[in-house]
Structure 1
Amino acid sequence: MGLTEGHQAKTVWENPAEIVRSLKPENPVMVFAPTVLQDRARAFLAGFPGLVTYAVKSNPDEAVIQNLVQAGIRGFDVASPFEIDLIGRLAPMAARHYHNPVRSRAEIAHAVGAGIKAWSVDSRTELDKLFEQVPPENCEISPRFKLPVLGAAYDFGSKFGATPELAADLLRAVHDRGYIASLTFHPGTQCTDPHAWEQYIRTAAEIAGMAGVQPRRLNVGGGFPSWRVHGVEPDLASIFELIGRTTAEAFGGNAPELVCEPGRGICADAFAIITRVKAVRDGQSVFLNDGVYGGMNELPVIGNLDRIEVLTPEGKLRGENAHGRVVFGPTCDSVDRLPGEISLPDNIQEGDYVVFHGAGAYSVVTNTRFNGFGELRQLTVMGFD
């Protein structure tokens, strides 16, 4: 990149525009704002009426984990032996909830050896595997149930979750074997409608009634939205209020303790991807140096990030985003295309930089390096203004 000695020594930049102006990076850059991450974590801690556990899979970067611990996060949702050990090393005093409901016997043994005390399950066969290896003393098992998805960008119920009737049977079995019996669900990804949680919570109360078991805790999952659309910031306060109120209404005086496991809702807005325009083909379609095989892997499933800025190599805004354009990534694969069209300035040029804000979730971890592309440097900024 031809960095000067002063640039190489700098560790915290003012904003993405300063990075563009000073470094003119040829490869994509993932920009991290720790202050934004900590602010979002504290908003969950202050607003959610229960325990907040961060879903490590969304962004397991060590700097992310360290900043969350500094912000006050004391619980983590872990889905693999790697994540169990990562949190055990970086946050040894934190709670670790192993809520991937399908595990091999070797993975169960690893988790037991690591001291895991909280598990989820969504089938009788998987519950029997837990009964074989997990001691019941002070161990929680939470049957995970599913409903038809409402207001979510992606339906986890197509892969995980028991019917309410099966969940009741599992809850009863967990209780009868002497484990701490709880319940969990996941409303789906990027739920912008607070009511996505309401029917799940009321169904949890029905499951408890069918089982004749009062769950110790109710984990309302993730699904909390990040800010993806320009001018429409998610209303987390309304979601938190509805969760608390619905739980009190559904369970009455025996309401279980609440737990949530946000990933995207905490980490996404603390990152932005700086990409560079490789070509504007005949004044129409745009080719970037990153795409769906790199830091924007999830966009074909979740939809485009609409919070976009286009900067000149001098770090100046190109102007208002106007007409929609087809945008391709750098690989020699026709699948490497962002969905639909993206609104970009009419005067966008080769060598410009396109900054996608809100890109911190499921980006670094899904970078494939396919076709030799995908080199992704991470730099730290004070903020995004």
Structure 2
Amino acid sequence: MGLSNNIWASPADYLRNHAPEHPVLFFSPEILQANAHRFLSGFPGFVTYAVKANPDEAVLQNLVNAGICGFDVASPVEIDTIARLAPHAAMHYNNPVRSRSEIKHAVKAGVKSYSVDSRSELEKLGELVPSEGVEIAVRFKLPVDGAAYNFGAKFGATVDLARDLVMRAQALGFTVSLTFHPGTQCTDPAAWASYIHAAAGIGRDTGVRINRLNVGGGFPSHRLNDVIPQLDATFALIDRVTDEAFGADRPALVCEPGRALVAESYALATRVRAIRDDAHVFINDGIYGALSELHLVGVIDRIDAFGPEAQLRTGDPVLRTVFGPTCDSTDKLPSEIGFPCDMQEEDHVIFYGVGAYSVATATRFNGFGNLTVEIVQSQTCALRALAA
């Protein structure tokens, strides 16, 4: 997956000069840095980037340039990448389950923050990690609505277990913090409020002063035209509720956005391979490629269709089923999308806001998945403004 040295004004500008047969990702460093500045100026605490969302080195370097100096790392590879690109950045090893060799690797790399959600993993850390100056963030979970899917199905201690882990971490000599994840693409700010109040309760019940509260990722990106994320309102709620819940014992706040930082900086151009019987649209990318997470999180309906010479299609939308290019019948987007009625075969369809879990998870299954990356100044379609 190569990164072009050319800089295009927009995806449409590229399409006016090319008619690519393979999918193309368009990356805007300007948008990425603007999103980083929004978090850095708006979130009332320390901002770390979840590397797993998009580990491309161009992304990481632009985030460092924008002022991000903390990273949520989940593997030795991510640890080594950040150590090389940002040697002075803080690394939070927040994958709650690690092998002994992975822990030793992190210690050698100077990692000073770990999350844990089980007694066995805490004892392993106690055995292998020197406690002085090291933070253990106990990860807990609650039943929460409003997220695309529930992270608590795999990770997170119950509140009762979290109390025990907090007291044990303190007994082992670690600096004690708490962390949670409200669930991916969480559009309900009240989810954070519930967790923050529960975290304050854990602190009161144990008598342990919580050093930091990591409010996780989960911050949503803009996927649907009719659902615009309210990030600033969520930041304000987190700040207010932390004051209310903790009072004078308020911990420092940390967040670890991935999707909300990087998604908007990428768009994906796909080509229409066929329109079958005016009902089914076949495109040259799908759930085995850069659209891999759509079957988990839901469809993106922020699209544009372009004909020859990047002519914007403006026909009334018609709902159609969308299939990817492979011969696997599961290669199907989870719901219909409204395509312009004048869209034709060989047109290009651009999906906006696909920077998270696209580059990182795309495969070459069935001989497809040949992605290239082009740099653009903006993802905005100027022709759409003219047509409106």
Q: If the TM-score is normalised by the length of the shorter chain, which range does it land in?
A: over 0.9
Q: Separation in 2 of the partners of 1:182 and 1:321?
A: 53
SS of the residue 2:268 aligns to: strand
Q: Give the Å deviation of 1:320.
A: 4.3
Match of 2:106 in 1: 111
Query: Contact conserved, 1:149 with 1:157, CA < 8 A, in 2?
Result: no
Q: Residues 191-210 of structure 1, C-alpha deviation per residue, up to 9 Å, x if partnerless?
A: 11111100000000111112
Match of 2:135 in 1: 140
Structure 1 segments of 4+ aligned residues over 4 angstroms from their partners: none
Is the alpha carbon distance of 1:363 and 1:124 closer, same or farther for their aligned partners in structure 2, counting shifts above 3 Å?
A: same
Relative to structure 2, which stretch is displaced further, 230-239 or 139-148? 230-239
1:350 aligns with 2:345: yes
TM-score, structure 2 as length reference: 0.96
Is the alpha carbon distance of 1:125 and 1:41 closer, same or farther for their aligned partners in structure 2, counting shifts above 3 Å?
A: same
Match of 1:49 in 2: 44
Q: Separation in 2 of the partners of 1:357 and 1:146?
A: 32
Match of 2:379 in 1: 384
Match of 2:323 in 1: 328
Q: Separation in 2 of the partners of 1:64 and 1:10?
A: 15
Q: Give the Å deviation of 1:326.
A: 0.6
Select the residue among 8, 13, 38 that pairs with 2:8. Answer: 13
Structure 2 matches for 1:302-313, cutoff 5 A?
Answer: 302-313=297-308
Q: Separation in 2 of the partners of 1:10 and 1:320?
A: 35
Match of 1:236 in 2: 231
Q: Give the Å deviation of 1:336.
A: 0.4
Match of 1:277 in 2: 272
Q: Separation in 2 of the partners of 1:46 and 1:28?
A: 35
Select the residue among 346, 371, 374 that pairs with 2:366. Answer: 371
Q: When the two structures are aligned, how many residues end up with a matched partner?
A: 378
Q: Residues 273-319 of structure 1, C-alpha deviation per residue, up to 9 Å, x if partnerless?
A: 00000111122211000000000000011001111000113111111
Query: Contact conserved, 2:97 with 2:121, CA < 8 A, in 1?
Result: yes
| Structure 1 unaligned regions, length at least 5 | 1-7
1:28 aligns with 2:37: no
Is the alpha carbon distance of 1:337 and 1:87 closer, same or farther for their aligned partners in structure 2, counting shifts above 3 Å?
A: same
Q: Give the Å deviation of 1:21.
A: 1.2
Query: Contact conserved, 2:315 with 2:342, CA < 8 A, in 1?
Result: no
Match of 1:296 in 2: 291
Is the alpha carbon distance of 1:10 and 1:81 closer, same or farther for their aligned partners in structure 2, counting shifts above 3 Å?
A: closer
Match of 2:386 in 1: none
Match of 1:224 in 2: 219
SS of the residue 1:380 aligns to: strand
Match of 1:4 in 2: none
Match of 1:3 in 2: none
Match of 1:168 in 2: 163
Query: Contact conserved, 2:151 with 2:184, CA < 8 A, in 1?
Result: yes
Q: Separation in 2 of the partners of 1:330 and 1:357?
A: 20
| Structure 2 unaligned regions, length at least 5 | 381-388
1:253 aligns with 2:248: yes
Q: Give the Å deviation of 1:19.
A: 1.1
SS of the residue 2:83 aligns to: helix
Equivalent residue letter for 1:169: D
Q: Separation in 2 of the partners of 1:34 and 1:191?
A: 25
1:84 aligns with 2:79: yes
Match of 2:92 in 1: 97
Q: Give the Å deviation of 1:177.
A: 1.4
Q: Separation in 2 of the partners of 1:120 and 1:354?
A: 41
Q: Separation in 2 of the partners of 1:245 and 1:282?
A: 54
Query: Contact conserved, 1:52 with 1:261, CA < 8 A, in 2?
Result: yes
Match of 1:200 in 2: 195
Q: Separation in 2 of the partners of 1:184 and 1:222?
A: 10
Q: Give the Å deviation of 1:11.
A: 1.0
TM-score, structure 1 as length reference: 0.97
Match of 1:64 in 2: 59
Query: Contact conserved, 2:4 with 2:373, CA < 8 A, in 1?
Result: no
1:129 aligns with 2:129: no
Equivalent residue letter for 1:355: I
Q: Give the Å deviation of 1:180.
A: 0.4
Select the residue among 185, 190, 197 that pairs with 2:185. Answer: 190
Is the alpha carbon distance of 1:139 and 1:321 closer, same or farther for their aligned partners in structure 2, counting shifts above 3 Å?
A: farther
Equivalent residue letter for 1:39: A
Equivalent residue letter for 1:217: R
1:266 aligns with 2:261: yes
Q: Residues 215-250 of structure 1, C-alpha deviation per residue, up to 9 Å, x if partnerless?
A: 100000000010111143211110000000000000
Query: Contact conserved, 2:5 with 2:375, CA < 8 A, in 1?
Result: no
Query: Contact conserved, 2:273 with 2:283, CA < 8 A, in 1?
Result: yes
Equivalent residue letter for 2:71: F
Q: Residues 150-194 of structure 1, C-alpha deviation per residue, up to 9 Å, x if partnerless?
A: 210010000000001110110111111111000000000001111
Query: Contact conserved, 2:4 with 2:375, CA < 8 A, in 1?
Result: no
Equivalent residue letter for 2:330: V
Q: Separation in 2 of the partners of 1:258 and 1:9?
A: 38
Give the root-mean-square deviation of aligned CA atoms.
Answer: 1.1
